[in-house]
Structure 1
Amino acid sequence: MESSSRRTVRHDCEKCWIRNLETFREFSPPELDFVSEFKSGEMLIEPGATVLSEGSLSPHLYTVLSGWGFRYKILEDGRRQVLNYVATGDLLGLQGTLMGEMQHSVEALSPLSLCVFERERLGTLFRDHPGLAFDLTWIAAREERILDEHLLSIGRRSAIERAAYLLAFLAHKARESGMADTKYINLPVTQSHVADTLGLSIVHTNKTLRKLAERGVIRWLERGCEVLNEDELARIADWRPPVPRRRPFI
């Protein structure tokens, strides 16, 4: 039974707003036809709702149309590690498709709109559309590169460098995903999310974010963060955003 946290809708793939963003590559006509048939519907997820659960055998794959979510794992005692964040154009559920079950969970951070695809039809994509198959490989490789940078941050950056890196990364992701059309960027993350991403206590996280706010690079809001100076955050973190390039999505 469909819960109150999920509602289904349907939009035409040919009119998908993502296709108008310069960040993403265009589909060829056969690819667009296939994706339109591959897609079984859309789903609207409320903030705080679980999209995929660790250990589950989901019959679906998802592409984020709009909104924010995050991937995470939880230890038996309840401690949570946020692994990465997802936004427009990102793919969810591929790991469960290839591994047999999900190795992490995904939760909606803001209202989340998803395209829904039937997992059992993925073989048709690999057999008949090698360009899209390459795109899936590229998406997986990109996720690996991002996780490499996250691991470097947790392992070697100081607390303030970790926080600066995370917020610079999310601001870059917002602009790359067409979710930031203003000078300043609002990120729907709480201090709890930041702490669970950085591997710090909530007290240490609060002190660290206060230092960044005192430098005038962020402004902390009631339920989120406003990024005021992306370049300075990147400088503090000693991080260079990836060179912009058109990337694929499904």
Structure 2
Amino acid sequence: MDTRPPKSTRIIPCDECPLCRNDSFRNFEGNELSYISGFKRGELVAEGGSTIYVEGSNSPHLYTVISGWGFRYKTLEDGRRQILNYVLPGDFLGLQGSLLTEMMHSVEALSDILLCVFERDRLFDLFKEQPGLGFDITWLGAREEQMLDEHLLSVGRRSALERASYLLAFIYERAKLVGLFRKSAVITPLTQQHVADTLGLSLVHTNKTLRKLQSRGVIAWKDAGFVIKDIDALMKIAGWEGLPEGKRRFI
């Protein structure tokens, strides 16, 4: 595990933030953007494979993901890993550590990630001075809980084939909304090990399950990624209706 800290990088004016130019996210109102500009402390780059938060740590920073993606996870003492959810642009990181003193999970970068940095000890000021932005943070926490509910249902009650279909459809839908796909719907650098650690299956069982999906023509996989060939078929196999409609909130 790479535990090198993220690297400092340039300052991006808030009115030039890629998230503000993405139609999937809601528009700021009144003086919210100028407030966020003062609340923000810059950007950091976390290289793919590096650790952004370590379970049990107490970081002074909160982050919004501007670009790239990663995952949240927990580990047992013997090193076995459970991936809890995936981190994509617009996601807010570190709230758990702000409210519970220390992080109860770790966060790792899958690709290079550009992070917008905020100071944790100023979070309460934001709630007092900008209740609308405070609601956005509450919305983000509720949305994360909603996704974890669906993931728990999937691990607990869906078959292996349904679980894999749900996971790939879920990541595809989220990535498409935030513009991670450019020329084709390739989920990369996701590996079969990541899938196994998310689904709670052995790597052998995961490989067999993914081969079944590939034989049906709904996915194809490369060395470190998956090509989604038929999203409707994936959703049908999973028995999943997709993400709720509406603009996403972020800070």
Q: Could you say which TM-score interval applies, normalised by the shorter chain? A: over 0.9
Question: Would the aligned equivalents of 1:168 and 1:230 in 2 still touch at CA under 8 Å?
Answer: yes
Instruction: Find the counterpart in structure 1 of residue 231 from structure 2.
Output: 230
The separation in 1 between residues aligned to 2:185 and 2:26, in whole angstroms, is 26
2:19 — aligned with what?
A: 18
Counterpart code for 2:104? Q
Contact 2:85 2:148 in 1 (8 A): yes
Contact 1:9-1:44 within 8 A present in 2 as well: no
What aligned pairs does 1:1-250 form with structure 2 within 5 A after superposition? Answer: 3=4, 6-250=7-251
Q: Structure 1: how far apart are the matches of 2:105 and 2:83?
A: 10
CA deviation after TM superposition for structure 1 residue 226, in Å: 1.2
- Flag the 1:14–1:79 CA change in 2: closer, same or farther, 3 A: same
- Residue 9 of structure 2 aligns to a residue whose secondary structure is strand
Structure 1 Cα separation of the partners of residues 214 and 128 of structure 2 = 51
Question: Whole-Å Cα distance in 1 between the matches of residues 234 and 226 of structure 2?
Answer: 13
CA RMSD in angstroms comes to: 1.4
> For 1:20-47, what per-residue CA distance to the aligned partner results, in whole angstroms no more than 9, with x for missing partners?
1111011124110111111101011111
Residue identity in the other structure for 1:216: G
Secondary structure in 1 aligned to 2:57?
Answer: coil
1:230 Cα offset (Å): 1.1
- TM (norm. structure 2) is 0.96
Query: Cα deviations across residues 195-250 of structure 1 (Å, max 9, x unaligned)?
Result: 00000000000110111111111111111111111111111000011232101101
Decide which moves more: 151-160 or 176-185.
176-185
Q: Secondary structure at the match of 1:117?
A: strand
Cα distance in structure 1, aligned partners of 2:226 and 2:114: 22
TM-score of the superposed pair, with normalisation by structure 1: 0.96
Does structure 2 retain, via aligned residues, the 8 Å contact 1:69–1:109? Answer: yes
1:62–1:115 Cα contact (<8 Å) kept: yes
Q: How far 1:181 moved relative to its partner?
A: 3.7
Shift of the 106–4 alpha-carbon distance from structure 1 to 2, 3 Å rule, reads closer
Shift of 1:3: 4.5
In 2, are the aligned partners of 1:171 and 1:187 still within 8 Å (CA)?
no
SS at match of 1:110: coil
Q: Counterpart of 2:192 in structure 1: which amino acid?
A: Q
- Determine the C-alpha separation between the residues in 1 that align with 2:146 and 2:76: 24
> Which secondary structure state, in structure 2, belongs to the residue aligned with residue 56 of structure 1?
coil
- In the TM superposition, residue 5 of structure 1 has moved relative to its aligned partner by 5.6
The alpha-carbon distance between structure 1 residues 245 and 200, as it changes in their structure 2 partners (threshold 3 A), is same
Matched position secondary structure for 1:17: coil
| Partner amino acid, structure 2, of 1:40 | R
Q: Distance in 2 between matches of 1:183 and 1:47?
A: 21
SS class of match (1:58): coil
In 1: Cα distance, 2:132 partner to 2:44 partner:
26
Tell me if structure 1 keeps the 8 A contact 2:70–2:86: yes
Structure 2 CA distance, aligned partners of 1:84 and 1:9?
Answer: 28
Q: Find the aligned partners of 1:192 and 1:223 in 2 and give their Cα distance.
A: 10
Q: Secondary structure at the match of 1:61?
A: strand
Give the Å deviation of 1:8: 2.4
Is the alpha carbon distance of 1:39 and 1:4 closer, same or farther for their aligned partners in structure 2, counting shifts above 3 Å?
closer
Question: 2:106 is aligned with what amino acid?
Answer: S
Contact 2:8-2:44 within 8 A present in 1 as well: yes
CA contact (8 A) 1:40 1:116 kept: yes
